Chains A and B, each alone.
Chain A
Amino acid sequence: MSLPVVEYLKLPEGGEPYLEGHKCSECGSIFLGERNVCSNCFARDSMQSIKLNNTGKLYSYSIVFRSFPGIEVPYISAIVDLDGGGTVKGNLIDCEPDPDKINFDMPVEVIFDDALGRKDKDGNSYISYFFKPIT
């Protein structure tokens, strides 16, 4: 069985994976990861977990050609505003790493797949999320 790559990726038993946000019921700010206090409006105990949408738009990006040893390059590091709220960073796949082929606000979907074969020291495999252009 695979583990989620980050705490905000949820793998419900018998259900589809999704990204989880925490939304402040006072001001509507959405955060990744659990928290007790809203850093925007300072409300306490106002956080509610929500299911983030699996579609969004490319907000910004960089094409990474130099990374740490052992990490395959190039890849597109993408910042995506999800439809309905929440901003997430991840790899944009199935898209040429060429600025002429990457458009701001291009629609993308969030897909869930094996974490590029990476395993932890105990040999566990992981499920990660990726962005893929919607054509």
Chain B
Amino acid sequence: MSDVYVLGVDMIKFGRFPDRTVPDLGAEAALLALDDAGLNIGNMEAFYCGNLGQANAMVGQRILQEIGQTGIPVVNCSNACATGATAFREAWTSIKAGLYDVVLAVGVEQMGTGLLGGSGSGSGIPKEGLLGSGTMPAVFAEAGMEHARQYGTTFEQFAKISVKNHHHSTMNPKARYQIETPLDEVMNAEMISYPNTKLMCSVNVDGAAAAVLVSEKKAKELGMQRAVRIKASVMTSDPYQERDLVMPDVNSCTRKAAAEAYEMAGLDSSDVDLVELHDCFATAEMLHYENLGLCEDGEAGRLIDEGEVELGGRIPVNVSGGLLSKGHPLGATGIANIYEVCSHLRGEAGKRQVENARIGMTHVIGLGSACGIHILEKV
């Protein structure tokens, strides 16, 4: 089977765009990625579109109405916060299958404000605050406290993750925020769900990202100079765990996906030069250091304490600023993190460039749960 390459990839600067539409944001990202690849929509043989908020509203086709209706197959994907990665992986799969040589993937989202999640009222009375909390900050706080229970992880260690990611985003002009947040500011920010303060929660923003994927044949034909090889593309759902029904599990699906991705790529974690992982909350990032094999179980707190996951450290994590500061437009996130890793592998990441980056990993989690992991390699 042919290797698959990212030939063009880009994202719009994340922010709030109340006067624009979802297809409009997606179209902008698609055009950026097409330009990056030196192609136009007429060259695309298929289009996979990821969006959550308008999952029933044919967003992909509406994007084509803005940039070119060529009659190609469009598949609209929705997979919680793994939506963008799902669209990207479906594009990869279609090329792997030999169906197409040039495929477009777009992830796009316009977000509301306030808390996500909540124990749905269903019938009867609202359950939120009665049977615990189903809000996302609380659910991921509980997952973090499971780590605290096992390893004594502290509030301060969780907070340091947010300090790091906000610092990284000061070097990323496409992040929502470019603001330093010192440790005392993070820890003293409004407590949302202990141990997650407001600055330890991802930012609700609007955003879009897009990628043009090509077969090896096409990459050679068009020029490999800026192509990035996809070494692994993996998706998992959550295998059975005994606390599943009350404690959505982001760990076992990530561990399973990571093991499969390393195997597919023929690599292990020590080969990886940078990671963009799903820091929807500071507590979540802590778990994934171990889930992705960046350290041994129980070592995650030490990793953040000793700066190993900072830019310049042993294995920089979320140098884009992550979901905590770059922002988290749900459907766009899974392609935006691929853009980030590709920028480093191409040596185009500016002030936040990870030196000599050759291998990068992206990871997203859609609660419920879906995990998507990609390993990318400099050509």
Contact = CB atoms under 8 A, between A and B. Distances in A.
Contacts of B17: none
Contacts of B138: 62, 64, 77
B245 A87 contact: yes
Contact of A90 (B124, B131, B194, B245): B131
Contact of A65 (B194, B244, B247): B194
Contact of B245 (A5, A31, A67, A75): A31
B253 to A, nearest CB: 14
A66 B133 CA distance: 10
Interface stretch (B2-10, B141-149, B291-299, B309-317): B141-149
Contact of A5 (B127, B129, B244, B247): B127
| Residue of B143, B192, B246 ringed by the most chain A CB atoms within 10 A | B246
B97 interface: no
Contacts of A31: 245
A5 B121 CA distance: 10
Dominant SS among interface residues on chain A = strand
B141 A62 contact: yes
Contact of B135 (A29, A33, A64, A90): A64
B118 interface: yes
Contacts of B245: 31-33, 87
Interface band, chain B: 35 or more
A79 B244 CA distance: 11
Contacts of B131: 5-6, 89-91, 128-129
Given A77-B142, A104-B149, A63 B132 contact: no
A128 B191 CA distance: 27
A51 interface: no
A40 B252 CA distance: 14
Contact of A40 (B126, B129, B142, B240): B240
B1 interface: no
Interface string A68-105: 10011101011101000001111100000001000010
B133 A77 contact: yes
B100 interface: no
Nearest to B126: A118
Contact of B142 (A32, A61, A71): A61
Contact of A91 (B118, B132, B145, B146): B132
Contacts of A29: 240, 242
B99 interface: no
B155 A99 contact: yes
A110 to B, nearest CB: 12
Contact of B240 (A39, A71, A87): A39
Given A5-B125, A31-B245, A62-B142, A79 B193 contact: no
B194 A72 contact: no
Contacts of B195: 62, 99
B128 interface: yes
B43 to A, nearest CB: 44
Interface string A94-135: 000001000010000000000110111000001011000000
| Residue of A66, A71, A129 ringed by the most chain B CB atoms within 10 A | A66
B243 interface: yes
A89 B149 contact: no
23 contacts: A5-B124, A5-B125, A6-B131, A29-B240, A39-B244, A40-B240, A60-B146, A62-B142, A63-B194, A64-B192, A64-B193, A64-B194, A65-B191, A67-B128, A67-B129, A68-B115, A71-B126, A71-B128, A87-B242, A89-B246, A91-B130, A116-B130, A120-B124
Interface of A: 3, 5-6, 29-33, 39-40, 59-68, 71-73, 75, 77-79, 81, 87-91, 99, 104, 115-116, 118-120, 126, 128-129
3 closest A-B pairs by CB = A77-B132, A62-B141, A71-B129
